[in-house]
Chain A
């Protein structure tokens, strides 16, 4: 049994733009969400509502103002909003996988290594990690001739598939997916749909943003609305 849950309580997030005289942009207010393993939540709401902001707060890439983001992994509960950096990094290594819309490349590191890194971080031997990375890249139709090249020069869709491979190579208990099929064609999109459903079936908790309604219909077990707030004066 997969013992994982995420409990978001009363979460608020605003941005203060100091260059604009301290302009405050509230994005999330008193937001609540519970996610259990085996669920795939699709966040819906208009552009700018704060869907990506929510995912980034859960990944601790953005600092939420108040509230709780409790990750319960086998009974060990951490509030990632207030966790120390080294705890957050540990959670990113073992618990949370995040597929952002854009790949942030590390210069000089070949694609296959970029994908294998989450396994290497967990001390899985290099040849096994590489083999698994290659298998996943092949499944995502990333041409073999690209595997030894750093992804910096890849097309948008190729980079996105590298990013997806990186997120799915390890069985993270929690997956955060920000428009994982946005720049993919139908064939590659369906591979991603398969990957998402397989992850959910093995017990991952998934929160995603899927603009394509067909994709959403195939993967989501529940829709959650993120509503835009009025900007405060």
Chain B
């Protein structure tokens, strides 16, 4: 059941991934390894290809060329696009999480906070009502959500609370890899700071790997170990987060860093 994960192997290996849209480049020739426990930030202006890349990595979009291999529990590195659709779906349910910018895209608005989490657990085989409820309460507690409101509908929550529920929903299945697209994007600055700190703590405590797309360099600095800077669909610079931000090499990265007040 607990197949050994080889710590000397990346969790995700991305090789020369390219995705064209009809007339435009989505992302071109992107390669990197993501290691267990590592958080990779992807930054760049809007339209730079960040979300296209994230969608390719999470198999929501199929690249035109290149390979994305994932280190499966059962058989090591496997090319995601050679798996069957069913295998891929199972993997997404058991191993991966996806935190959307808009909680509405990641939550079912018609069922309670508790049920949103229970549902994810049932999708990976949980059956005992008491266990599911207890675990839902546990995860809601971990994201500092007021348990008394567990049975309320997400539509009655603030944006920050909805985002907490979305995060709890993703963590409840003990994933190994979490994709996040502007996880604090639509929130007030104060709410954003609390949530970021929480995310940072959770990812660290749980030893998760994560890929975080953001246009906010302060978010990237706080959450990610490593940074990739994208422009016009290409990675122009990558490296240790504080090195990229404090000693940017590429003209575009220098422009990005100098355009903000302070990170």
Which one, B17-25, B108-116, B237-245, is touching chain A? B237-245
Residues of A within 8 A of B251 (CB): 18-19
| B249 at the A interface (CB under 8 A) | yes
The stretch among B45-53, B69-77, B97-105, B192-200 that forms the contact with chain A is B192-200
In residues 199-251 of chain B, which contact A (Cβ within 8 Å)? 200, 222, 225-226, 239-243, 246-247, 249-251
Most A CB contacts (10 A, CB to CB) among B38, B240, B249, B254 go to B240
Give the nearest-CB partner of A120 in chain B. B204
Q: Is A143 an interface residue, CB under 8 A from the partner?
A: no
Give the docked Cα–Cα distance between A16 and B247 (Å).
10
Q: What is the chain B residue whose CB lies nearest that of A64?
A: B247
**B42 smallest CB distance to A (angstroms):** 14
Chain B residues whose CB sits within 8 angstroms of the CB of A15 once the complex forms: 247
A61 is contacted by which of B247, B250, B255 (Cβ under 8 Å)? B247
Total number of A residues with any Cβ neighbor in B under 8 Å? 18
User: Could you tell me the distance between the alpha carbons of A89 and B224 in the complex, rounded to whole angstroms?
Assistant: 12
Residue of A61, A85, A108 touching B246 (CB-CB under 8 A): A61
Contacts of B31 in A (CB 8 A): none
Partner of B38, one of A61, A86, A109: A86
Q: At the interface, yes or no: B258 with Cβ under 8 Å from chain A?
A: yes
CB A155 to nearest CB in B, in angstroms, measures: 19
The minimal Cβ–Cβ distance linking B250 to chain A, given in whole angstroms, is 8
Q: Which residue from chain A places its CB closest to the CB of B226 in the assembled complex? A: A85
Which of A17, A18, A85 is most buried by chain B, counting CB atoms within 10 A of its CB?
A85
* Complex contact A85–B225 (CB within 8 A): yes
Does A56 make an interface contact (CB < 8 A)?
A: yes
Tell yes or no: A195 within 8 A of B by CB. Answer: no
Q: How far is the CA of A170 from the CA of B141 in the complex (A)?
A: 32
Closest chain B CB from A120 CB (angstroms): 9
Q: How many chain B residues touch the partner (CB < 8 A)?
A: 23
B222: which A residues are within 8 A, CB to CB?
Answer: 106
**B239 contacts A106, CB within 8 Å?**
no
Question: Contact: B240 with A60, CB < 8 Å?
Answer: yes
**Distance A89 CA – B255 CA, assembled complex (angstroms):** 26
Q: Which residues of A contact B35 (CB under 8 A)?
A: 86
Known contacts A106-B222, A107-B193, A108-B194; A17/B254 CB under 8 A = yes
Contacts of B250 in A (CB 8 A): 18
Is B239 touching A63 in the complex (CB atoms < 8 A)?
A: yes
Q: Mark A82-118, 1 if CB is under 8 A from B, else 0.
A: 0001101100000000000000001111000000000
Q: Which residue of A lies closest to B205 (CB)?
A: A120
Check A107 against B254 for contact (C-beta < 8 Å): no
Q: B258 and A89: CB pair below 8 A?
A: no
The answer on a CB contact under 8 Å between A19 and B258 is yes
Distance in angstroms from B12 CB to nearest chain A CB is 14
Point out the residues of chain A lying under 8 angstroms from B225, CB to CB. 85-86, 89
| Inter-chain contact A109/B197, CB cutoff 8 Å | yes
- B-chain residues with CB within 8 Å of residue A16 when the two chains form the complex: 249
A154 within 8 A of B: no
Q: Are B240 and A89 in contact (CB under 8 A)?
A: yes
Nearest B residue to A15 by beta-carbon distance?
B247
Q: A19-B254, A19-B258 are in contact. Are A106 and B200 (CB under 8 A)?
A: yes
Q: A44-68 toward B: CB 8 Å interface, digit per residue (1/0)? A: 0000000000001000111100000
Q: List 24 interface pairs A-B (beta carbons < 8 Å), by A numbering.
A: A15-B247, A17-B254, A18-B250, A18-B254, A18-B255, A19-B251, A19-B254, A56-B246, A56-B247, A61-B242, A61-B247, A62-B243, A63-B243, A63-B247, A85-B38, A85-B239, A85-B240, A85-B241, A86-B226, A88-B240, A106-B200, A106-B222, A107-B193, A108-B193
8 more A-B residue pairs beyond the given contacts A60-B240, A85-B239, with a C-beta to C-beta distance below 8 A:
A15-B247, A18-B251, A19-B254, A56-B246, A61-B243, A86-B35, A86-B225, A108-B194
